[in-house]
A and B are shown apart, each in its own frame.
Chain A
Amino acid sequence: MSSCDPTPGFDELEEVSRLVSRKLASFLRTLRDAGFAVGLAEGRDAATLMAAGYAARPLLLRSALKHLVSARKSDWEKFDGLFDAFWLGKRVRARSLTSGSAKAANNPSLKSLRDTSAPQGGRGSASDQVPSNDEAPEGRSGEGRMEGASRAENLGEIDFRKLADPDQVERAHDAAARLARAMRTRLTRRDLARRRGYRLDLRRTIHRNISHGGVPISRVMRRRKDKPLRLVVLLDASGSMSLYTGFFLRFIHGVLDEFREAEAFLFHTRLAYVSSAMKEKDAGRALDRLSLLAQGTGGGTKIGESLKTFNRHHASRVIHSRSCVMIVSDGYETGDADLLGREMAALSKRCRRIVWLNPMMGWEGYAPEAKGIKAALPYVDLYAPANTLNSLAALEPYLARI
């Protein structure tokens, strides 16, 4: 670089470089805290850059380090702010990033989500509440029903909202997670049969026919592996769903096994991408990371707008030809129902199947009257209840056929 114009003394230079490298280490730590993947190799390369004369030109250094440590678009967008804050002492610009990769506690996106929903929660929480005056008494009756029968068997039949005893809740959570894992393993198994296919596999054909003295008698064909089914779960975390959110979060956590394909989003008045937070191995910690999101949800539900965000920004990445979108919501739309209909139409063009799980469908005397659900239903391939473990398990055969 052309940065060796002044000629400071040797000692002075060494002093500066020592200071800079110490500062560099603490900057890299800041980046790591902000969710960047900065390892030893990056540290070494950053030091190389400093030594190559980049240290003397802040803007160039910013651009260089940005390329080095960013790994995705969200990193790319927030790097400049972090750099300026650290080296130039400017305030971090508040940007609403819904990447969900950083820790819940210090992630501005989570805070902003909470902030936006808080005022609505204060004023209009009633608009989105489930109109049920029978909640309290039923809660007790559900508990009462548990007493006589074998607990293990009954757990599958009980509506999630009627589980009151913490121990019972815990076991239902575990059951939901186990169920999800079992479903994933079975649904994403790959088909390796290769008797028929579209292309001759010469390498394997020759190998197979060594026993015939190299005369190719039986052929081996290649066949494209089936893509594993990808589940994309959109979970409504609004106030009206609050009794169910916990169970579905556990279910999703089970679904999002690190090595297989599944993506998860949470929405109420906004959409948030939560897959990376949910990939935390320990269920408790994963839920902690989301607790802020799940709590700030007293407000209305803008399903249509959330779907619009999904279609515009996430769909092309998370949906492929063998994807099933699973929307878990009661369909109480506080936004524009027509928008919901339009976005559902757009979504249905993209993915193989749309499953809408409505926990309230399991209630006696429930009919899909809410205008949101009415607008969405024409595009839904399967509309099913999901208020008990058994009703969740009943989905598996359907998903296996997709």
Chain B
Amino acid sequence: MKNRDEIAQALARSGYIADSELATAISLMQLLKRPLLLEGEAGVGKTEVAKALASVHATELIRLQCYEGLDQSSALYEWNYQRQLLAIQAHRGENADAVEDRIFSEKYLLERPLLAAIRRDKPPVLLIDEIDRADDEFEAFLLELLSDFQVSIPELGTIAATTIPHVVLTSNGTRELSDALRRRCLYHYVDYPDVDREARIIVARIDGASTSLSLQIAQMIAGIRKEDLRKVPGVAETLDWAAALVGLDVKDLQEVPELVHETLMCLVKTHEDRAKLTREVADRLLGKVA
């Protein structure tokens, strides 16, 4: 599958409505064998891209959630020390070489996401989530792994990749990533979807959401995003809200203005923003919705 239209359709079947640029990016990932770096505001569906990609390729999704202080032992591999200690006790009396061979074997190796990703039979999708939260040191290490796709374990030797995974990195921009990493990757900026695409996302994701209601919700959200809020609602919030409205059996937003106002808590997550979206503001926005 190379054509970007095919990719867009396949993504849509798995529930992700992509714009044509993202489909291009994914086709390039395959053509050029480069990782894809996704940047964008929180909640625009960066992580979902990887999930959808995994279902398109009908393969496993291996996820590495980055956080501050993430190191090789929790990202790559670790020896199972407890079992090794037990093994040493259990085989007391064997000669030292035999014990060593025994405890430094595959059996005692704990696979962490990065190692797992290069040892599968079928190329998995490797999602390295929120890479900006990890330290610079880890980023440098990752860069090495992404170019060589091999891991050297001192006690066991070098493990070369059996397959090259499809790598997707996401970043929220809480820290400036290194230029080296950026250059290594294809770059795609994920923006908030436009009204039409957001409506299609709602229809695809929420059971029982009619086309007209989805369009109304999407228009309302577009209006809210233009307000001066601290935390702009993302697609995830839109889906929450749509699910809430569908659950409350709403057919048309215009008919139930109070309910619209009361359920806005699905969208705004701070007290300040809540105070800003007064009844008047909600009514004004609702007035613009067709």
B81 interface residue (CB < 8 Å to A): yes
Inter-chain contact B32/A2, CB cutoff 8 Å:
no
Inter-chain contact B2/A1, CB cutoff 8 Å:
yes
Q: Among B25, B69, B79, B85, which residue has its beta carbon within 8 angstroms of that of A225?
A: B69
**Complex Cα–Cα for A70 and B85 (A):** 50
Give the shortest distance, in Å, between A64 (CB) and chain B (any CB). Answer: 6
A93 interface residue (CB < 8 Å to B): no
Give the shortest distance, in Å, between A315 (CB) and chain B (any CB). Answer: 10
With CB as the reference atom, state the residue of chain A lying closest to B33.
A45
Inter-chain contact B182/A37, CB cutoff 8 Å:
yes
B183 interface residue (CB < 8 Å to A): yes
Give the shortest distance, in Å, between B128 (CB) and chain A (any CB). Answer: 17
With CB as the reference atom, state the residue of chain B lying closest to A44.
B32
Inter-chain contact B34/A45, CB cutoff 8 Å:
yes
Inter-chain contact B39/A73, CB cutoff 8 Å:
yes
**Complex Cα–Cα for A75 and B34 (A):** 18
Using Cβ atoms and an 8 Å threshold, which residues of chain A touch B265? none
B174 interface residue (CB < 8 Å to A): yes
Instruction: Please judge, given known A-B contacts A75-B187, A316-B174, whether A203 and B73 are in contact too, CB under 8 Å.
Output: yes
Give the shortest distance, in Å, between A118 (CB) and chain B (any CB). Answer: 29
Inter-chain contact A203/B81, CB cutoff 8 Å:
yes
Q: Is the interface of B mostly helix, strand, loop or mixed?
A: mixed
**Complex Cα–Cα for A204 and B203 (A):** 53
Inter-chain contact B187/A63, CB cutoff 8 Å:
no
Inter-chain contact A224/B31, CB cutoff 8 Å:
no
**Interface bits B201-228 vs A (CB < 8 Å: 1, else 0):** 0000000000000000000000000000
Using Cβ atoms and an 8 Å threshold, which residues of chain A touch B73? 203
With CB as the reference atom, state the residue of chain A lying closest to B84.
A206
**Complex Cα–Cα for A344 and B36 (A):** 38
**Complex Cα–Cα for A316 and B183 (A):** 23
A42 interface residue (CB < 8 Å to B): yes
B280 interface residue (CB < 8 Å to A): no
Q: Among B2, B20, B172, B183, which residue has its beta carbon within 8 angstroms of that of A71?
A: B183
**Complex Cα–Cα for A206 and B88 (A):** 13
A87 interface residue (CB < 8 Å to B): no
**Interface bits B39-83 vs A (CB < 8 Å: 1, else 0):** 100000000000000000000000000001100010000110100
Using Cβ atoms and an 8 Å threshold, which residues of chain B touch A63? 20-21, 24
With CB as the reference atom, state the residue of chain B lying closest to A205.
B81
**Complex Cα–Cα for A320 and B34 (A):** 30
Inter-chain contact A68/B28, CB cutoff 8 Å:
yes
B176 interface residue (CB < 8 Å to A): yes
Instruction: Please judge, given known A-B contacts A45-B34, A202-B81, A316-B174, whether A73 and B20 are in contact too, CB under 8 Å.
Output: no
Using Cβ atoms and an 8 Å threshold, which residues of chain B touch A60? 4, 24
Inter-chain contact A203/B79, CB cutoff 8 Å:
yes
Q: Among B2, B28, B78, B85, which residue has its beta carbon within 8 angstroms of that of A67?
A: B28
A49 interface residue (CB < 8 Å to B): yes
Using Cβ atoms and an 8 Å threshold, which residues of chain B touch A77? 189
**Complex Cα–Cα for A63 and B68 (A):** 34
Give the shortest distance, in Å, between B201 (CB) and chain A (any CB). Answer: 21
With CB as the reference atom, state the residue of chain B lying closest to A79.
B187
A145 interface residue (CB < 8 Å to B): no
Inter-chain contact A45/B187, CB cutoff 8 Å:
no
A48 interface residue (CB < 8 Å to B): yes
**Complex Cα–Cα for A2 and B2 (A):** 10
**Complex Cα–Cα for A77 and B188 (A):** 11
A39 interface residue (CB < 8 Å to B): yes
A76 interface residue (CB < 8 Å to B): yes
Inter-chain contact B179/A45, CB cutoff 8 Å:
no
Instruction: Please judge, given known A-B contacts A316-B173, A317-B174, whether A71 and B32 are in contact too, CB under 8 Å.
Output: no
With CB as the reference atom, state the residue of chain B lying closest to A308.
B228
A72 interface residue (CB < 8 Å to B): yes
A52 interface residue (CB < 8 Å to B): yes
Give the shortest distance, in Å, between B270 (CB) and chain A (any CB). Answer: 11
Using Cβ atoms and an 8 Å threshold, which residues of chain B touch A203? 73, 78-79, 81
With CB as the reference atom, state the residue of chain A lying closest to B73.
A203
Using Cβ atoms and an 8 Å threshold, which residues of chain A touch B179? 37, 71
With CB as the reference atom, state the residue of chain A lying closest to B23.
A63
**Complex Cα–Cα for A88 and B51 (A):** 37
Using Cβ atoms and an 8 Å threshold, which residues of chain B touch A119? none
**Interface bits A115-132 vs B (CB < 8 Å: 1, else 0):** 000000000000000000
A284 interface residue (CB < 8 Å to B): no
29 contacts between A and B (CB under 8 A): A1-B3, A37-B182, A41-B183, A42-B183, A45-B32, A49-B28, A49-B31, A49-B32, A60-B4, A64-B24, A64-B28, A66-B21, A67-B21, A67-B28, A67-B186, A67-B187, A68-B186, A70-B189, A71-B179, A71-B182, A71-B183, A72-B182, A73-B173, A73-B189, A203-B79, A203-B81, A224-B69, A316-B172, A316-B174
Interface residues of B (CB under 8 A from A): 2-4, 20-21, 24-25, 28, 31-32, 34, 36, 39, 68-69, 73, 78-79, 81, 85, 88, 172-176, 179, 182-183, 186-189
Task: With A42-B183, A70-B189, A203-B73 given, name 14 new contacts (CB 8 A).
Answer: A1-B3, A2-B3, A37-B179, A48-B31, A52-B31, A60-B4, A67-B28, A68-B28, A68-B186, A73-B173, A76-B187, A76-B189, A224-B69, A316-B173
